[in-house]
Structure 1
Amino acid sequence: MRQYNQIKGRHPDTVLLFRLGDFYETFGDDAVATAKACGITLTKRNNGTAGEIPLAGFPHHQLDTYLPRIVRAGHRVAVCEQLEDPKQAKGIVKRDVVEVVTPGVVLYDKLLDHKSHTYVAAITGPTKNDPNCGLAVADISTGTFTAGDIPMDKLAAMIESLQPAEIIVDKDQRGWWEPLLERLPFTPARTRLESWIFEQEFATNILLRHFQTASLKGFGADSLTRGAIAAGVVLHYVSETQKGALSQITGLSILSSDTTMVLDAATRRNLEIHSSMSGDGTAGALISIVDRSVTPMGGRLLRWWLQSPLIDIKRIQKRHEAVRGFVRDQHTLTEVRAISAGIGDLERLMTKVVTNRATSRDLVGLRSGLQQLPKVKETCTASLFDAVRDLGEKLNAHQSTVDLLQRSLRDEPSLQIGSGQIFRDGYDAALDDATNALLHGKEWIAAYQERQRTESGISTLKVAYTSVFGYYIEISNTHKARVPEHYDRKQTLANAERYTTVELKEFEQKLLSAESTVTSLESRLLDELRQHISSDCAAIQKTATLIATIDALAGFADVASAYGYVEPVMTEETALEIVDARHPVIERLLPHGTPYTSNTVLMDTEKEQLHILTGPNMSGKSSYLRQVGLIVFLAHVGSFVPATSATIPLTDRIFTRVGAQDNIMAGESTFLVEMQESANILNNATKRSIILLDEVGRGTATFDGISIAWAIAEYLHEVIGAKTIFATHYHELTSLADQFHRVHNLQVEVREVGDEIVFTHRVVRGHSDHSFGIHVARMAGLPPAVLATARAVLVQLESGQHGPTELGRTATAERHRLEEAGQISLFEVRDDGLRDRVRLLDINNMTPLQAMQALVELKDSIDE
């Protein structure tokens, strides 16, 4: 246990998987954690004077099964391997940790989502001379590596958008990062490192040594300060866990809050971009509509775009141009998507190659994917549209790599090294000879068995093999007297004897030598093949990014074609005009044949800056707000939008405050959260922002709520000047339009038909004087007596006579009146279905006699 204890001492915060022969063993607390996470048996072994120690283990070939379970249980895992052949070792076999798997540093397929990144991040705080923070993230499974200098007030939002699985922090600087991480709406693993790792000189040298450059200028990162330190910290940490295996990280991109739109957690949640508020995952979220990607790389890139909408108008227009080309060239769109579906995950396959994890099947998968590139290139370059053609012309077919893989590997190679079934015949002469000896050995055994049967006259004689005794001749006891004299007894069984011969021994030596040779050659040739392909890693990664871009843009075009989206006109002016706007998700969730009620949105910062939106519950106010936000968001991502036409001004931020989101576990009330989100908006919005507010102030007393809502609206008009839609039940706010020239009232149209109300979902000019709350309550099924009392109290409230005593008397009097009139009691709900029966009458096609009969039946129902 001395060797184990030494290695465990170097990795105290991990579960140490210690290789012992064909098993990975764990001891002590690690064994308890492993047994619990993996559902395997926990045993004990005697440890001398230390007493018994818990023990748990599993076969080495099940590492891919059990290691992910341990990591998912929240543990870091250190994998300790045998570094020499136990048969040739002198004394204790050399062992050491070859990798450490953490929540953010992982290469195991079962821990990766094929359409999402798994990031490890590092953050550095501001200094006296530099107010910015540093943020860097890496996904070692794809080679993605990006860093930036981020303003402190935007850091949390950037982290929220990237959702790293693990964040590295300076253990001596928790005063600044702990409050930040505590406020995050998710819980990444925290890794605390020593302060010297965060020193600028150390971190910068790590980067320069890795990229083998004199500066970061070639990456456009020479101006990075705090971000460069964070990048160096990430690279150091990943290098330590992966024992220097970082060949897949070939470049560093810049993460900037100046070129991308920063969305806070509330806005992402309220717009339901990545997940729905109903808790059904992506179902009902925007991504479920716009993700038409057919490659894993395209799916990951799309999520990156949704995390980081552009605010560079030229880059936005470039994406729109490509989507337009695909929309107008449906043949190219269909062909490209069909071909791309067969490409696979080039990024992660290349990572397996450079980290020496790629199996023969992985290499065949890479070959198959690369073989599709010329078809994509040919299809795109044949397009009549420049943007699509340009994408195709940039594609590298990597023909030399494809040729090498095609020349070397069989069509369906074996996974087993030493099988002789991995490489094509003729690829390596020495391997061919050894493989022939191995394969012909089986033929020799069959022929030898037949010859021995003939010579001995024993028809049941058989030649077989075990790993313990090697090759042998087995003869049952009934034929023992006929055994040839030159047979040497090897083993005695209950009903048979096993023998060998000089000839069989000689053959066995040749065969074992051939097996060893094949295993050695196939292992070496695979290593050489991986190394050769690794030299093309950076180029293939660039190609993978380009394929991902084509896939994501083609996906946007497919959505636009299927659902009737239009290309938005991006402008640096301030006017927002969306004609016949539709909610991209809700319109797809409506029952088949149900039309969606579209609305036109007209706003600017000069005349139509702030809209006060009134209307009853269930009328569609919140959906209208989200619809506007999602259309502006989609335009900045590069997608077409659900409308007849759209002019979208370049927008720096989208802010939403829609619905109550309690944080009870943190001790925060609905109103506190509401005010925190409102404060965030007022402190960070600019004139180029779009603000969507719903029911601000409703979490407190009515007069307090009205006062706060009024003050916020006035501040937005007078100070910030951002385009704002303010949905409210406080009808007093509609008076703002009389005092401020850029404030206008909108209402969700409601039609009253008798005692019924009909929601048209149309937004029109004007304001609503009623919330129709009692009508909605009736639709929800409240007892008629409750509704009647509510109407009586409402009349008194509207008359201004609403002291507690007066209201109590009114409620009591109404209840007595209903009881005396013999109407339905408070606890009895009568559901006679009369309204439904009337609605179903087709009066336009009824004869007078049929109409009279229907009337009689209705009257009889009432009399009953």
Structure 2
Amino acid sequence: MITASKEGKTERPVKLTPMLQQYMDIKQQHEDAILFYRMGDFYEMFFEDAVIASKILNITLTSRNKKSDPVQVPMCGIPYHAVQNYLSKLIEAGQRVAICEQVEDPADAKGIVKRDVIRIVSPGVVTDDQLLDDKSNNYICALNLREKGKSSSCGVSFLDISTGEFLIGEYSGNGQELTDVLDQVTRLQPAELLVAQNSTSVGDTLLGEIKALLPRICITSNGGDSSGLDSVPAAREMLCDHFSVVSLDGFGCATFNEGVLAAATLLDHVRKTQKTAVGHIEKLTPIETGAILHLDEASRRNLELTQTIVGASRQGSLISILDQTCTPMGARLLKNHLLFPLQQQEKIISRLDATTYFFKNSHSRKELRALLESVYDLERLNSRMTLGSGNGRDMIALKTSLSALPQILSALKNCDTSELLDIRSRFDCLTDLYDLLEQAIAEDSPVTLREGNLIKQGYNKELDELVALQRDGKKLILELENKERSATGIAKLKVGFNRVFGYFIEVSKVHSDKVPEHYIRKQTLVNAERFITAELKEFEEKVLGAQDQRVELEYNLFVAIRDRLAASSSRLLQTANLLARLDVLLNNGEVAHRYNYRRPEINGEDVIEIVEGRHPVIERMMPSGEFVPNDVYLDQKKDEVLIITGPNMAGKSTVLRQTALIVLMAQMGCYVPAESAKIGIVDRIFTRVGAMDNLRQGQSTFMVEMSETANILNNSTERSLVILDEIGRGTSTYDGLSIAWAVAENLVNKNERGVKTLFATHYHELTELAKSHSRVRNYSIGVREWRGNIIFLHKLVKGGTSRSYGIQVAALAGVPQEVVLRAKEILKDIELGKFAKTTGGEKNPRITSKNRKHPDQLSLFSPPPDRIHELLDAISPDECSPMEALNTLYRLKELRKQ
């Protein structure tokens, strides 16, 4: 017996109708989902589902049993034809929805019509365009963690059901298992995470970190039911059966155990939720780790690769600048290239060669991009065909896409780079599929499949006859009427129709004596009689049944065509993949041409040399020509760690970030924003930039800073690039300076080879490192001071600086004038060594310690250095540019005043 309240909670017994009993039986099988129960033209929801859905969807919550029972059953409903809009809101809110339809013909039903769930929609398992971002993959992820003593092994699998992409990974034995898994999950950002019910302390910790970093992720339990997938052999057998192979060796994951369990669990879950074959999932791809440039979650966030730190917006991120693709497949592949840059020199150069071809051949680039503009999302169209959800408009979009393929192949005939030759050699124009769609599918096909008008005339003879019967019905009636008039001699005989009696022959009572014997009386009116004949009855059955027969026949023909397309899934996916690759290469050539990028030189040396490098995002936000480019040179012989000083707002962070982004873009196979660039391939890019709390995990700003720093020191290698900005600023001056100093020393001495590092700091004492370490160099951002104000030159120049100009920057930021003036007074006292405790009523605290002769920031070192001699010693006249010479003169004048 069921009970209910206004909130959908249990209170008093509710008498269940057969319909509600059926609802509850189905709901019990899908307790973690909102049940869309089809009733006529509506999907209805009851009890807790109705309460939850009505709030999310902002629809009226009503109730059943208002009169028959004092206890009301909460309910709400939505029209079936608008289901996608409502689904979108529920999925966005992190809900799972079980769609329940009638699964038998009401005419054949004995009692209540049989219903069942035909598919389950959740954030990680959606295929409809309205619910998806066409520029990003939509993954569902499964994890399988095994603990053995103090060590652990973790398998991970990702599946995008809308494209068929299926990934597998396994991490164990290096002490970094959970970090590696967390890195992959945050990199691919799945919409849904599938977890086992049996939890462990390590698993709970990992899950907590994932929730903290991806707060919107939907967590789903597999309910402990994975069709007996409780062992690696069972999981392997299931995967092999799906892919029709005898082993998984061909996929490169033969040694995986936990990963295989995760992949099999995920595939099993998708089969159950979609209630159909998933034949478009055709291969299992290992997540490569050794062949890609690694960026941890903090570095991806700090560099704002796919979204900004503030506001989490795509606009203002690197991908928003680089993505000028023409197709959704290309946009997703470009994002994949951004998240997985290469370390393999040969592959990088192959991509660059193709980009160079399109950079130089603008006509070819424009022609191919124009053709790609007419190509829809073939990957997701193919998915819908395979899953049985494709409609008429999907097929028209598919046909339009296929119509461009022969022209694309023709336009590739003169492309001769290895990448483009590979695309051309494997290109399938799919002309047979295009011909099928051209012959069969009506141009104005509706979205729904039960309204007819799906199939073109001439495709099927039986359908043409039914259409003709409907179209010519009135003409046939008129012919029959004339025939009967002639045969009976009744001039005013007529053939009519109404919804109750169907077709009939009407004769006025005046002519009743002329009615033939084979007429069968059907109805008597005041002044007339209505009859039916065998011929008219046959005609009625034909005409009245023609619409239903036509709709049913069209539906069956459409499904058969969809099945033929699904059978060609492999060919469609291969073509979609080749088009995506072509789109990305064209995109890279277009971006290089549009933004004046240059081809980088990729080599295996330990040198990074960037001439007139620019920040790809910031330069697009500034008026043309105003961005100040900078040179950066790093090696492991003499310019390994660059200590960069200078004021805030001068451009230190910009130089740091643009260096990392240029290296990353180069290893993606892109042209870069620089006059020239020589990039020795790096294995990792680490960035520690800015300040950010992680209060969810109980970490302060300084704890986050130290955690990220620890990761860099523990995992960077001699082939890494490290970007550090303001290490140690989250604690006291002396603690912070000590940490910054020790970190810089560690990086320059690590493994006796050191790590290429850009280290921006306001601790001017760090410039002392250059005296004791031959691979440390001092740089600063050029600034001019004019009548108490500062002018930022945004230029990186050799030599350190002794001032941060913090007070001037505060004034520029709008700090009240009285505060700025007071700060200058206090700074002067500190520089003169006169700062002491405030005593009763003194306006200006004065200083009892010895006067300081040097206006430097408080230092751990004594005596303070002679800055003028130090600066003169650092000058190399033969290498000094005019701008550097001018800046040096200004700095000497400043030091002289002090």
TM-score w.r.t. the length of structure 1 is 0.87
Q: Give, in angstroms, the shift of residue 192 of structure 1.
A: 2.4
Q: Give, in angstroms, the shift of residue 384 of structure 1.
A: 5.0
Q: Secondary structure at the match of 2:280?
A: coil
Does the 8 Å contact 1:43/1:54 carry over to 2? yes
Partners of 2:335 and 2:466 in 1: how far apart? 50
* 1:25 has 2:58 as partner: no
* 1:164 has 2:190 as partner: yes
Name which of 510, 531, 540 aligns with 1:508: 540
Q: Give, in angstroms, the shift of residue 535 of structure 1.
A: 1.3
Partners of 2:462 and 2:720 in 1: how far apart? 69
Q: Give, in angstroms, the shift of residue 413 of structure 1.
A: 3.5
In the TM superposition, 1:47-62 aligns within 5 A as 51-62=71-82
Q: CA RMSD in A?
A: 3.3
More displaced 10-residue stretch of structure 1: 537-546 or 271-280: 271-280
Q: Give, in angstroms, the shift of residue 235 of structure 1.
A: 0.5
Deviations 1:431-452 (A, max 9, x none): 1222211221254468889999
Name which of 117, 121, 141 aligns with 1:121: 141
Does the 8 Å contact 2:836/2:845 carry over to 1? no
Paired position in structure 2 for 1:712 = 743
Does the 8 Å contact 1:792/1:810 carry over to 2? no
Does the 8 Å contact 2:495/2:503 carry over to 1? no
Paired position in structure 2 for 1:111 = 131
- Percent identical among aligned pairs is 39
Does the 8 Å contact 1:260/1:308 carry over to 2? yes
Partners of 1:414 and 1:445 in 2: how far apart? 30
Partners of 2:790 and 2:842 in 1: how far apart? 29
In the TM superposition, 1:58-137 aligns within 5 A as 58-128=78-148, 132-137=153-158
More displaced 10-residue stretch of structure 1: 41-50 or 679-688: 41-50
Q: Secondary structure at the match of 2:64?
A: strand
* 1:176 has 2:202 as partner: yes
Deviations 1:550-608 (A, max 9, x none): 111111110001111111112222111111100001111002x4422111110012221
Does the 8 Å contact 1:674/1:696 carry over to 2? yes
In the TM superposition, 1:306-705 aligns within 5 A as 306-415=338-447, 417=449, 421-444=453-476, 506-591=538-623, 593-705=624-736
CA 1:254–1:785: 2 relative to 1, 3 Å: same
CA 1:631–1:463: 2 relative to 1, 3 Å: farther
Paired position in structure 2 for 1:138 = 159
Partners of 2:200 and 2:147 in 1: how far apart? 14
Does the 8 Å contact 2:350/2:418 carry over to 1? no
Name which of 261, 265, 270 aligns with 1:233: 265
Partners of 2:43 and 2:260 in 1: how far apart? 39
Q: Give, in angstroms, the shift of residue 665 of structure 1.
A: 4.6
Q: Give, in angstroms, the shift of residue 350 of structure 1.
A: 0.8
Name which of 38, 52, 59 aligns with 2:57: 38
Q: Give, in angstroms, the shift of residue 482 of structure 1.
A: 13
Partners of 1:668 and 1:449 in 2: how far apart? 89
Partners of 1:438 and 1:504 in 2: how far apart? 16
Partner AA of 1:24 in structure 2: Y
Partners of 1:697 and 1:800 in 2: how far apart? 24
Q: Give, in angstroms, the shift of residue 223 of structure 1.
A: 2.8
Does the 8 Å contact 1:291/1:302 carry over to 2? yes
Deviations 1:605-662 (A, max 9, x none): 2221111110001101111111011111111222111011111121111111111112
In the TM superposition, 1:210-225 aligns within 5 A as 210-225=242-257
Name which of 797, 801, 804 aligns with 1:764: 797
Partner AA of 1:55 in structure 2: M
* 1:729 has 2:762 as partner: yes
Deviations 1:207-263 (A, max 9, x none): 112112111122222232322221111101111111242112111111122222332
Does the 8 Å contact 2:178/2:206 carry over to 1? no
Partner AA of 1:95 in structure 2: R
In the TM superposition, 1:821-840 aligns within 5 A as none
In the TM superposition, 1:734-749 aligns within 5 A as 734-749=767-782
Partners of 1:573 and 1:650 in 2: how far apart? 7
Partner AA of 1:181 in structure 2: L
Does the 8 Å contact 1:46/1:53 carry over to 2? yes
CA 1:808–1:45: 2 relative to 1, 3 Å: same
Partners of 2:481 and 2:353 in 1: how far apart? 73
Partner AA of 2:198 in structure 1: D
CA 1:453–1:419: 2 relative to 1, 3 Å: farther
Partner AA of 1:695 in structure 2: E
Paired position in structure 2 for 1:270 = 302
Q: Secondary structure at the match of 1:183?
A: helix
Paired position in structure 2 for 1:789 = 822
CA 1:453–1:675: 2 relative to 1, 3 Å: farther
Q: Give, in angstroms, the shift of residue 139 of structure 1.
A: 0.6
TM-score w.r.t. the length of structure 2 is 0.84
CA 1:769–1:61: 2 relative to 1, 3 Å: same
Partners of 2:437 and 2:617 in 1: how far apart? 44
Paired position in structure 1 for 2:6 = none
Q: Give, in angstroms, the shift of residue 198 of structure 1.
A: 5.3
Partners of 1:490 and 1:28 in 2: how far apart? 50
* 1:152 has 2:182 as partner: no
Does the 8 Å contact 1:612/1:728 carry over to 2? yes
Partner AA of 2:189 in structure 1: Q
Partners of 2:504 and 2:254 in 1: how far apart? 71
Paired position in structure 2 for 1:841 = none
Paired position in structure 2 for 1:844 = none
Matched residues, number: 806
Deviations 1:695-722 (A, max 9, x none): 1111111111111111111111112621
Partner AA of 1:146 in structure 2: L
Partner AA of 2:720 in structure 1: S
CA 1:526–1:698: 2 relative to 1, 3 Å: same
Partners of 1:636 and 1:722 in 2: how far apart? 18
Partners of 1:263 and 1:474 in 2: how far apart? 85
Does the 8 Å contact 2:59/2:76 carry over to 1? yes
CA 1:805–1:499: 2 relative to 1, 3 Å: farther
Paired position in structure 1 for 2:863 = none
Does the 8 Å contact 2:38/2:44 carry over to 1? yes
Partner AA of 2:114 in structure 1: K
Partner AA of 1:330 in structure 2: S
Q: Secondary structure at the match of 2:168?
A: strand
CA 1:499–1:709: 2 relative to 1, 3 Å: farther
Unaligned runs of 5+ in 1: 815-864
Does the 8 Å contact 1:326/1:388 carry over to 2? no
Partners of 1:174 and 1:508 in 2: how far apart? 70
Does the 8 Å contact 2:838/2:846 carry over to 1? no
Partners of 2:662 and 2:267 in 1: how far apart? 38
Q: Secondary structure at the match of 1:275?
A: coil
Partner AA of 1:167 in structure 2: L
